[in-house]
Amino acid sequence: MPVESISDRISMCAATDWGVGAIYKSANKRYSVQGIFDSDYQGVNIADVEFASTEPVFHFPTSSLPCRAAIGDLLYIAEDVYTVRNIENDGTGMTRLRLEAKA
């Protein structure tokens, strides 16, 4: 089985597949980036009571962002603004940003 190429990774994130457009803001500069946004339900148990929560993440081809991602940067998706809380490079050319909704 062939290893996926950068064009394969970019096409997975296209709006015609699973992708959404976003604006990445770092050091007062804005960059357009395509990626896959997910905000799964997470049940959080606190003293035997489950609270509803989400864990928003954004996956994108690492090479599609012209700056280095940093904790504290912002990501705009539609009307929502998220703060980058963790950055995970998977070693295959994709990056996952763990996000926190900005109040």
For the segment 42-59, what is each residue's pLDDT rounded down to a tens digit?
777 888 888 777 789 999
pLDDT of residue 69: 96
**CA dist 28 → 11, 23, 67, 69, 81 (Å):** 28, 12, 12, 13, 15
Task: Domains for the chain: give ranges and CATH numbers.
Answer: 6-101 (2.40.10)
Residues 1-33 pLDDT 10s:
455 777 777 777 777 777 899 999 999 999 999
* Other C-beta atoms lying within 10 Å of the C-beta of residue 24: 23
Average pLDDT (61-77) is 95
pLDDT of residue 3: 55
Closest CA to 96 of 37, 47, 48: 37
CA distance 10 to 2: 16
CA distance 40 to 35: 16
